[in-house]
Amino acid sequence: MPTRQAGAASSGTTAPAAPAAAEGSPASQPAGSSSHRAAPRSGGRIIALTGAASFLGRNLIGILEEDPRIARVVAIDVKPPDTGGSKLRLHTVDLTAPSSEERVADVLATEQVDTLVHLCFLSSPTPATAWAHELESVGTMHLLHGARQVGLRKLILWSQTILYGAHPTNPNFLTERHPLRADPEERFFADKMAAEREFNAFGAKAKGTTVTILRTAPILGPTVQNYLTRFLSQRLVMTMLGFDPLWQFVHEVDAIAAFKLAIDGDFPGTFNIVGDGVLPLSTVVRLAGRTPVPVLHSAAGPLVSALWAAHTAVTPPAFLRYLRYLCVADGEKAARVMGFRPMYTTREALLDYVNAQRLRDVRLLQETPA
């Protein structure tokens, strides 16, 4: 179980070119042939993570390193994480490259990986939608095509509850049986929904491979950085005049713990990972110490569109629906099947973020760059 003071780490994936591998590292070795000759297993489990330099990846690596049952942790990313020790093996792989399919298959076979955790997704929207599509949607296809060539015991995917979409017809709590109805025209949503479809199709055909999808509520805490923390860090927070939807969070420590549970046990299917309780948006803004700025719905769309085009908005206009309508998920299945019990409620996750943000506001805490 990770501690309440998780190490500061960036959230999400950036778009730099893949760096050269360190001399003598596994990433610096040429990819193997299509036969994917496997190295002998030294004992213990071997876990691979894509997006290893992301917030979830960095913190999971630290947790896995401390587990005596884990023999090796394989990091698959375009840049190395700054966590990990003697168990860590780095492989530089750019999932947007057409050659990544063969490279992934070679890494998984050579390292004798039994569990692959796919975390290579953006935690915040980006105007670079074409690159985001190549990374998340096409990159997931490359990853799974490579995984089909080897015998994995388990696949785990990071997804998000915001993919259910914010709608006036939503029930109070959305279960895993509800369809994903986020705006398909918004690339931040569409690519993640496509990745889920790819994983579900893989799971339907794969024999002997457990496929687990964890849909986390918006992640909040003292060290994570994403669109939500940027939204709440503004002194003036836009709200929608006449609307006060319920919001829900999961603490960064609980999100990391949920992935560790999925790695340790076999839980096929999709699970909502959420904190207990909900808060009205007006209460969220007040507890964050921010000033709400109610805006008419008719004016909000053009305003946010212009700000997003100027690269000054936190999110594109599609996120305005979450300022109007409910999008709250039910965590009962994760509690019943996985035994997941969050340490923090939604309110406690918010307050933990707020306490750290107040220090940042007065420049007493150095904020890690995204």
Residue 185, number of CB atoms within 10 A of its CB:
9
Give CA–CA dist 188/11, Å, rounded: 15
Task: Locate 206 and state its tokens.
Answer: 């794969």
- pTM assigned to the model: 0.86
Task: Locate 362 and state its tokens.
Answer: 């007065």
Mention every residue, 6+ apart, whose C-beta is less than 8 A from residue 130: none
With b for 16 or more beta-carbon neighbours within 10 A and e for fewer, the 11-42 pattern comes to bbbeeeebeebeeeebbeeebbeeebeeeeee
The answer to whether residue 113 scores a pLDDT higher than 80 is yes
**Interior CA angle at 340 toward 335 and 343, to 5°?**
120
**Interior CA angle at 131 toward 126 and 132, to 5°?**
50
Question: Do 114 and 83 form a contact (C-beta atoms < 8 A)?
Answer: no
Q: If you average pLDDT over every residue of the chain, what do you get?
A: 88
88 closest CA partner among 109, 110, 71, 112: 71
Query: Hey, is 37 helix, strand or coil?
Result: coil
DSSP 11-77: -S---PPPPPPPTTSGGGSPP--TT-PPPPP-SSEEEEEESTTSHHHHHHHHHHHT-TTEEEEEEEE
Question: What is the residue type of 231?
Answer: F
Where does the pLDDT of residue 7 fall: very low under 50, low under 70, confident under 90, or very high at 90 and above? very low
> DSSP character for 58?
H
Question: Do 72 and 91 form a contact (C-beta atoms < 8 A)?
Answer: no
pLDDT digits (tens, 9 = 90+) for 233-291: 999 999 999 999 999 999 999 999 999 999 999 999 999 999 999 999 999 999 999 99
Strands 279-280 and 246-247: antiparallel
Q: What residues are paired with 156 via a beta bridge?
A: 117, 212
- Describe the crossing of helices 139-147 and 187-205 by its angle, rounded to 10 degrees: 10
Where does the pLDDT of residue 20 fall: very low under 50, low under 70, confident under 90, or very high at 90 and above? very low
Where does the pLDDT of residue 302 fall: very low under 50, low under 70, confident under 90, or very high at 90 and above? very high
Give CA–CA dist 291/282, Å, rounded: 10
Where does the pLDDT of residue 368 fall: very low under 50, low under 70, confident under 90, or very high at 90 and above? low
Give CA–CA dist 321/315, Å, rounded: 12
pLDDT digits (tens, 9 = 90+) for 34-85: 334 334 345 799 999 999 999 999 999 999 999 999 999 999 999 888 877 8
Q: What is the pLDDT of residue 19?
A: 34
